[in-house]
Structure 1
Amino acid sequence: MASVTQAVSNSVQSIRKVIFASSAGTVIEWYDFYIFGSLSTVMASKFYHTGTDIGDLIAWLSTFAIGFMVRPFGALFFGRIGDLVGRKFTYLLTISIMAGSTMGVGLLPTADTLGAFAGIILITLRILQGLALGGQYGGAATFVAEHAPHGKRGFYTSWIQTTATLGLFLSLGIILATRKIVGEADFSEWGWRIPFLFSVALVFLSLWIRSSLKESPLFTQMKATKTVSKNPLKESFANKFNRKWVLIALFGATMGQGVVWYTGQFYALFYLQKIFKVTLVDSNFIVGAAVLLATPLFIFFGWLSDRIGRKPIMMAGMLLAVLTYYPIYGAMAAFAPTDPGQHFLFAYQGYNQVALTFLVFIQVVYVTMVYGPIAAFLVELFPTKIRYTSMSLPYHLGNGVFGGLVPILGLAWINATGNNFAGLWWPMAIAATCFIFGMIFVRETKDVDITDETTTFAHQAEAAQGKQVKGAMPVMPEK
């Protein structure tokens, strides 16, 4: 134990480098992932010819959703590698796969050249992107947390939480810059490829930064003491105690976090463009400004979670989303460029970019509340020897499946009902369910000591209650 503590102490000296390297690579992976979604209205009809613009968009969003749906499989596959081989090797591998897939999208001929095969190849590339992203997050969060000193895990891992937002912001910036440089006509014709190809240079930079890092001190200690898991999948999911906490992490935290995240950022952008008819440039500017203003709050809520706990902040974010989504989107309809014809609480006021930016900003604040503390929460929930595998699956089920379904279900329900607000039903229902489940079953984790390479949450909780532990994972008693 002393050697582990010393390793963690020594690692504090290089924590800034660890955070920077992990964050830089993760920003790039999210950038790759979100340029695909941000360009949906430009690219849908280039790869799918369904006969209608809405049909092309649904086909495109379905392809986008596939990338989310396969993320849990990437979590299982790469999580196992991360627990067996190491954190560093795994996230170097995932970013390489992501880069190759993104470059492939940028070079892929359209349906005018390849016909239906263009869509098939695009789906294949999206699957590879989703698998890579499924293996990335757990590695980055685990790597930073295992370097962080006790009492500061929420603060340090919250820097990783900013990367998804910064990746989205970077994608919007590159898209807007490219569009301005090449012109609207050329951007629609061929310029959309540039943001995909631009990521290749970013990937080389990230690989260079990450290759200079050393392995996590806790994983290094496990290898030295020969306590590395022999079968992370079996130990994570066949063990009934650990499986129970995987399910609690999913239904009490990550699925609610997932829908709030995608509603507040990606879906807000989609709503502005397709429902409220804000132009591509204006909508990207509105979301980009809101994201930029709110991003420091990821750090704030991560820091705050070290003091008051992870649970109250995450639960508050979900509850606020459930209570205010309808009024927020009703107000957005009131400030759209043209009267959408459907209102909630607010009469049409006329186009107001500042008001729309503020309304998106509120949604991103909720994102920072649910997302800022969650990496530390998941890391603290599972022991080091199976941490990568155990935390990755509920995270990517919550984000990839529940969160990833937000755009496609929202559009389908709007199209089926004619109700512009029907797209909010799914995130509100999931966030409400997660809030109730989380309030009952989730307990606080901020005081967990993760420096024991084989046990953490369960064994420490049971020991505190004077019980014999067999297996793992009941929760820490709340203070």
Structure 2
Amino acid sequence: MLASTLGTLFEWYDFFIYGSLAVFMSAIIFPPDNPMVSLLGALAALAVGFVIRPLGGAIFGYLGDRFGRKYMFLVTVVMMGASTVLLGCLPSYSAAGNLSWILLLVLRVIQGLAVGGEYGGAVVYISEHCSPKRRGLLTSWLQSTCMLGLLACTVVIVLCRTAIGPDAFKAWGWRVPFLASIVLLSISVYIRARLHESPVFSRMKSQGRLSKNPLREALSQWSNLKLILIALFSINAGTVASFYTGQFYVVIFLQQAVAVDQSLVYNLLSIAFLIGVPTYVFLGWLSDRIGRKWIMIAGIFLTALTFRPMFESLISAGNPALVEATIAKPVTLHASTNSEDCSFSLGAALLSSHPDNKKACVKAKQYLVQHGVNFTYVPPVNGLPVAMSVNGQTISGFDAKAYGAALQSAGYPEKADPARINRTKILLILIAMTVIAAMTYASLAAYLVELFPARIRYTAISFPYHIGAGIFGGLLPFIATYLTLSVGDVLAGLWYPIGLSVICGIVGTIFLPSGPRTSAATSAADANTPTAQ
């Protein structure tokens, strides 16, 4: 368990380090003359790494069920570690032009494939070594590696930023956490090379019971496909909505919408993670005693009910001056949402990066949302495509300096005032989000193992998990940012995870099996573990 957990922890560090540094990389790897489009491009690259994960799950799941769990461990960790190191060596856009972000996308694809093969293998490997009665407890340690990987990359970033200073870190220091991964890669390869094959897989192989085509068996037989679909549209997608919103998107939100200093965000997040990680182990242990389904379903519904109020509280706790200005002197945008001048085309936003090619109305919306400013639409004035009004002053067209001066005179702060930040409240909210995420995620691995027969277990777990995590979760930061830009409300992006949670909670309540074991094949495989014998 320790060997598998450490290797997986390092792999999560490699995967999440990019997301944590997307804000810095966007200014270096993408065209620098439009910060919001660069940020969207960086988030799109983040999404690519997630979206490709189901393919990695299908490929490595097939290979793991056919040829063994151990060897896939070595392949995935090398792919992940090497691509992470190379991310730290990427040329800047000023030096290599479009080649810089093309290479970034290629490396993110490799990372996504590696993670797609990692999780299912690690879950199956631990589960096939342990007693079914302790499966929730032992796999919960593996589940916590995702959180610990986020914590590790957060600590490394904070240490690097403190050691070399904010300016140097922004210019070149962001590369150090990527390059440091070579140390983790060496340790991971050493650990994985010493592992033995799973006893359940070895026994199935000696008895000639391996699946000849686990992917086809998992997807073509309705009994297996039905379980995959139920898992996907309930606990897999629902877990993603909770985990990635409360542990990942919140980092971007605090920095962009609330304008809290990055170092403070990382410090508070690190403390929240340290306090919240034991919750994973406790809930895994609890699921062995009272069942797993209703713990996960409760976490999914809590996400839908509490996340928007908690994000609202983050704004008031982190930047009260922004809340006061929004209430006292609201911003209105004179524009027609149906006009061509104000339509926000995602493809155009990414392909037309030069500010001269952007519509004035689109640039105005981007500017306001980027500064955490909500606005409401009113009819256009004097036939202009856009105008902004605040505090009795109307500015025709778009002028960043004029917008900034008008907002500042109306009391809108450029940055959160450190003296007015309620750090305790922010920390408590982050801890609450961590606990809710643990409710949905801690016992997920054990539940999925018990859902599928051993002969196709690697494939059947990896495929729905990574569709949920890769598609629904990977697109979350990007879709949330896009919704925020389109609507003009910094909280609009939360409707995506909230809606997803409601749907998944209902599906899980109705269709998910409640018992600890759902098939005779699973029971038979469990009976083959050394502890059961």
* TM-score, normalised via structure 2 length: 0.79
Aligned to 1:141: 123
The one-character-per-residue Cα deviations of 1:380-431 (angstroms, maximum 9, x if unpaired) are 1111110000010110111111111110011111111111111110000001
One-letter code aligned to 1:412? Y
The one-character-per-residue Cα deviations of 1:276-299 (angstroms, maximum 9, x if unpaired) are 001110011111111111000110
One-letter code aligned to 1:446? P
Aligned to 1:365: 435
Residue of 495, 503, 518 corresponding to 1:425: 495
Report the secondary structure of 2:180's partner residue: helix
Matched, 1:403 2:385: no
Aligned to 1:452: 524
Structure 2 Cα separation of the partners of residues 197 and 315 of structure 1: 39
Aligned to 2:73: 91
The one-character-per-residue Cα deviations of 1:421-459 (angstroms, maximum 9, x if unpaired) are 111100000011000000000012424674524999xxx
Matched, 1:252 2:240: no
Aligned to 2:449: 379
Moved more, 438-447 or 299-308: 438-447
Change over 3 Å in CA distance of 1:455–1:390 after alignment to 2: farther
Structure 1 Cα separation of the partners of residues 527 and 275 of structure 2: 39
Change over 3 Å in CA distance of 1:27–1:366 after alignment to 2: same
Q: Is 2:141–2:281's contact at 8 Å kept on the other side of the alignment?
A: yes
The one-character-per-residue Cα deviations of 1:299-333 (angstroms, maximum 9, x if unpaired) are 01111111111101000001111111121111111
Aligned to 1:188: 170
Moved more, 414-423 or 55-64: 414-423
Q: Is 2:128–2:526's contact at 8 Å kept on the other side of the alignment?
A: no
Report the secondary structure of 2:524's partner residue: coil
Q: Is 1:314–1:370's contact at 8 Å kept on the other side of the alignment?
A: yes
Aligned to 2:285: 303
The one-character-per-residue Cα deviations of 1:60-100 (angstroms, maximum 9, x if unpaired) are 00000000000000000011011011111001110100011
Q: Using the TM superposition, give the Cα deviation of residue 338 of structure 1 relative to its aligned residue in structure 2, in angstroms.
A: 4.8
Residue of 498, 510, 519 corresponding to 1:440: 510
Q: Is 2:517–2:523's contact at 8 Å kept on the other side of the alignment?
A: no
Aligned to 1:78: 60
Q: Is 1:79–1:135's contact at 8 Å kept on the other side of the alignment?
A: yes
1:143-158 to 2 correspondences below 5 Å: 143-158=125-140
Aligned to 2:389: none
Report the secondary structure of 1:107's partner residue: coil
Q: Using the TM superposition, give the Cα deviation of residue 41 of structure 1 relative to its aligned residue in structure 2, in angstroms.
A: 1.5
One-letter code aligned to 1:88? K
Structure 1 Cα separation of the partners of residues 464 and 237 of structure 2: 8
Structure 2 Cα separation of the partners of residues 202 and 288 of structure 1: 20
The one-character-per-residue Cα deviations of 1:208-266 (angstroms, maximum 9, x if unpaired) are 11211111110010111011111011101011110011000101210000111100101
Q: Is 1:67–1:126's contact at 8 Å kept on the other side of the alignment?
A: yes
Matched, 1:315 2:297: yes
1:179-328 to 2 correspondences below 5 Å: 179-328=161-310
Structure 1 Cα separation of the partners of residues 319 and 53 of structure 2: 37
Structure 1 Cα separation of the partners of residues 183 and 436 of structure 2: 33
Q: Is 2:287–2:443's contact at 8 Å kept on the other side of the alignment?
A: yes
Structure 1 Cα separation of the partners of residues 283 and 200 of structure 2: 26
The alignment's C-alpha RMSD in Å is: 1.7
Structure 2 Cα separation of the partners of residues 398 and 455 of structure 1: 30
Aligned to 2:364: none
Q: Is 2:451–2:517's contact at 8 Å kept on the other side of the alignment?
A: no
How many residue pairs are counted as aligned between the two chains?
A: 434
One-letter code aligned to 1:388? Y
Structure 2 Cα separation of the partners of residues 102 and 181 of structure 1: 22
The one-character-per-residue Cα deviations of 1:20-78 (angstroms, maximum 9, x if unpaired) are 11110111111011110111111101011163211110000000000000000000001
One-letter code aligned to 2:524? D
Aligned to 1:468: none
Structure 1 Cα separation of the partners of residues 67 and 58 of structure 2: 14
Identity %: 39
One-letter code aligned to 2:502? A
Q: Is 2:81–2:184's contact at 8 Å kept on the other side of the alignment?
A: no
Report the secondary structure of 2:130's partner residue: coil
The structure with the larger Rg is 2
Q: Is 1:90–1:139's contact at 8 Å kept on the other side of the alignment?
A: yes
Structure 1 Cα separation of the partners of residues 254 and 269 of structure 2: 9
Aligned to 1:353: 423
Report the secondary structure of 1:151's partner residue: helix
Matched, 1:329 2:308: no
Q: Is 1:218–1:453's contact at 8 Å kept on the other side of the alignment?
A: yes
Structure 1 Cα separation of the partners of residues 77 and 48 of structure 2: 19
Residue of 439, 462, 482 corresponding to 1:412: 482
Structure 2 Cα separation of the partners of residues 104 and 281 of structure 1: 25
The one-character-per-residue Cα deviations of 1:179-230 (angstroms, maximum 9, x if unpaired) are 1111222211211111001111111111111211111110010111011111
Q: Using the TM superposition, give the Cα deviation of residue 142 of structure 1 relative to its aligned residue in structure 2, in angstroms.
A: 0.5
Q: Which has the higher contact order (CA 8 A, sep 6+)?
A: 2
Structure 2 Cα separation of the partners of residues 126 and 340 of structure 1: 36
One-letter code aligned to 1:158? S
Structure 1 Cα separation of the partners of residues 465 and 55 of structure 2: 12
Q: Using the TM superposition, give the Cα deviation of residue 340 of structure 1 relative to its aligned residue in structure 2, in angstroms.
A: 3.0
Q: Is 1:381–1:445's contact at 8 Å kept on the other side of the alignment?
A: no
Structure 1 Cα separation of the partners of residues 233 and 146 of structure 2: 22
The one-character-per-residue Cα deviations of 1:331-369 (angstroms, maximum 9, x if unpaired) are 1111113533358xxxx9941111101111111111100
Structure 2 Cα separation of the partners of residues 234 and 455 of structure 1: 25
